[in-house]
Each structure stands twice: as structure tokens, then as C-alpha cells.
Amino acid sequence: MPDLLSAVWTSLGGAADELTRLRITGPPAVLRSTFPVTAVGAAAVGASLLAATRGVPVAVDTRALGVALRSERHLRLDGRTVGSPFDPLSAFHRTSDGWLRLHANYPWHRAAALRVLDCTEDDVPAAIADRGALELESALHAAGGVGAAVRTEEVWRATAGPPPPLVERRVLGDAPPRPARRPRVLDLTRVIAGPVATRTLAAHGADVLRLDASDRPEIPLQAYDTLPGKRSALLDLATHGRVLEELLAGADVVVSGYRPGALDRFGLAPAELARRHPGLVVVTLSAWGHEGPWAHRRGFDSIVQAACGIAHAEGTGGVPGALPAQLLDHATGYLAAAGALLALGEQRRGGGTHHVRLALAGTAAWLQSLPRETPEAIPDIDPAPHLVDLAAPAGRLTLAAPPGAVAGTPLTWPAPAPSYGTAAARWFGTADR
């Protein structure tokens, strides 16, 4: 397994002498891919473990890691599956001149796709086959939908320009150091990358409150999978500005997972947060980065894979393929958690309002920059030793355990168990931990 952690840890701002605390065990590869998926996942999770601890050994087992990187596949409610996060239309489709990856998992994106294609669900493949991939990609974006033409890496670089860095760190303004306490994290994320980041912060002891709009419900499987250890509340940011402001005033970290600028109208632009709430740690995640021709497009892991050349590289026989896990989401999430924790430590030691910025496209470019090899057959992992059961309001949830151990003790999911939209939109208590 290549040693990727050193460069990642440096980009996050970690001290080099901390690296010796991490031990990685297990097979060097547990997921079959052209890319070093296991090594990338281990580096991202290892960084989050180092960032969350001081002076104690931490460890990652690649078998547990392989289960965690595909956590959504292992979720069960009372022993039964909770459906798939992927709509049947969310797939690779042949176009008149190539391939297009469509995303229709959320009802509003699905509706936009059907409007653009002007057909019924059964006729979608034929409708796509009559159109060019680039033309359809643009039409979907203009209509509020999501899709990407399958490109090679070379074509993508010519289209999008230089990729965003893996991690960007900056100080937005002066602020005195805040006293140490149990971190309060305001979670303004959805899908996978951001929720994995905040799920990881919860696993390391943070008080995490996730907010969602009542008219944009999360896919149930994704909610169950990413809510352990968090409280989940429904709040209309447009009509509950006072409540939002109270939450921001009480928060230590704000994590946002929307397109750049999408939340600015609610006073959530990083610079505006620094002005009103100096001393916050602001973490922003996006699909394509904060600048460039695609910055304000919608995007998801599968869409980024298609556009940037990963789907082409993973394909066989002229048919595009996909990574064995939604690695761009999961790795970006663990890196975001590490960045948040390191920035929080810097704030408490020296002050300032810190901003950490990541993008799925940056993680994709990092992955593509690493040595590749012909994928070999890899035995399936037995997930059972790496799954846990939680009693939740909806029933008995089976979830992937959080990957990693601290001082020899495996991480566990703290309370509360996942319960979407049932919490009050407020902080509880002020006691230090």
C-alpha cells in the first residue's frame, strides 16, 4: 500500500511528528479498482483519527475501512434493506455520440430530467440515445437537473482547467481564541460527503445538529446511514433567520455541503459568517470547487466520476464503469472532518476565523494523480465483524461501524441513534467536556 498520509496530513496543516501514531493493518487492497482506493481511504480516515486525538496511538484496519467506505450498502432496518439510494434512471446511458451519466435520485432532479427528455420513464434510454452527450448535459443543467457526459481525463482537463487543491485552508479574519469545550457543529449538508464529515465529528465527541428543509427530504437510506450521533431538525432558513442566527452564535464549527454561493442569501457566505461570528471554523464542501466554469453546477460523486475521466478509466469494453465505492464522497468527508478538527485546534490556540474548503473534483484529481495498476481479483470482505446494531425510533438499525481505533479501543457510534427531523433546532447545555 503506498504511503499517502504524509502529503495529505501536510496539506491539512498537521504536524509531521504526529504521523508515527497511526498504524494501518489488514490487506493492502480490499476493493478492486484501477485506482489505489484502499490506500486513499486509509489516508483520509487516518488523517481524521490523528486530527481528533493527541498523543495516543490510532489505527485503521483496511477490512473495516472497506465496509465503512460502502456504509450505505450495508444498512438494514430490522434486518431488511431500506431500498437503494440510486433511482433506476441514475445510470450510464448511451447517447448518439458517447455516454451520459444521469442523476435522478432526488425527486426534483428526476422531474427535471423527464422534462428535458420530454418522455415517460420507460422511454428515457431511447430519448437519451437520440441526443448528444454534451448537448444533453447542458440542457439538464439549465433545467435544474444533473447529468454529465463521460469524458477522458485529458478532455476533462481541457474543459475544466486546473483542478481545485485537495484541501484549501485560509484565515478569514481576526478573532480571539475560544475556550475549549465539547465542539458544537452546525451541519448544513446532505447526500454523503458532508454527512460523512459531520458523522465522523460526532463519533469523536462533537455535538452535531443537522438542519434540513422540510420540502427537500433526505433519501431515507442516506439519512439512516449518516445520522448516528447527530440530532436532526427541520428548519426553513428563509423564514427562521432568527433561529439560524442563534444556532450560529452558539456553534464552534459550521459545515456546508451545497454549491458555492447557494446559501449566501441566508447570510451563510464564509466572509459574512466571519464578520458576524468571529472565531467560527467554517468548512465548505462542493462538487466542482469554488471557481472555474463548473463551479456553480450541481454535482454528485457519480457525476464527478463521469465528467473527470474516472468512469472512462474504470470501464471495460467501451462501457464506462465506476469506483467500487463512492470514494470521492467518503474520502472528502473524512478529510473535511480532519480539516475541521485541526482548524478548531488552531483557533483555540491562536484565534482567528478559519475556513477549510474541499471539493469532490479535488479528491478526484488527487486519486487520478496516483499510480495505477491492473486490478486483480480481491476476496470479498466479510462485513459482519464490522457492523453494529443500534436501537432507533424506526427499529433496529444495522450500520457499518465507524472505522478506526483510538488507544486500542474501536470507535463506536454515540447517541442519539438516527431519527430524521425529530430534534429541536437548538443547542443543549454549555458544560465543557
Active site positions, annotated: 329
Rounded to an integer, what distance in angstroms lies between the CA atom of residue 162 and that of residue 156?
Answer: 10
- Return the DSSP state at 147: E
Distances (CA, A) of 18 to 15, 22, 50, 193, 383: 6, 8, 7, 25, 30
- Residue 101 phi, psi (nearest 5): -100, 120
Residue by residue, DSSP assigns 350-407 as H--EEEEEEEHHHHHHHHHHS--------PPP--GGGEEEEEETTEEEEEEPPS-EET
Rounded to an integer, what distance in angstroms lies between the CA atom of residue 398 and that of residue 130?
Answer: 43
Rounded to an integer, what distance in angstroms lies between the CA atom of residue 45 and that of residue 335?
Answer: 7
Amino acid identity of residue 220, one-letter, is P
Nearest to 323 by CA among 303, 341, 342, 340: 303
Within its chain, how far is the Cα of 303 from the centroid? 14
Helices 107-117, 133-142: axis angle to 10 degrees equals 130
Structural contact between residues 336 and 48, judged by C-beta atoms closer than 8 angstroms: no
Grid cell of 352 as nine digits: 482567528
Grid cell of 58 as nine digits: 490510532
Strand (E) or helix (H) holding 25? strand 22-25
Q: With 0-12 CB in 10 A as exposed, 13-18 as middle and 19+ as buried, what is 351?
A: middle
Strand bridging mode 395-400 / 387-392: antiparallel
Rounded to an integer, what distance in angstroms lies between the CA atom of residue 171 and that of residue 420?
Answer: 34
β-strand partners of 113: none
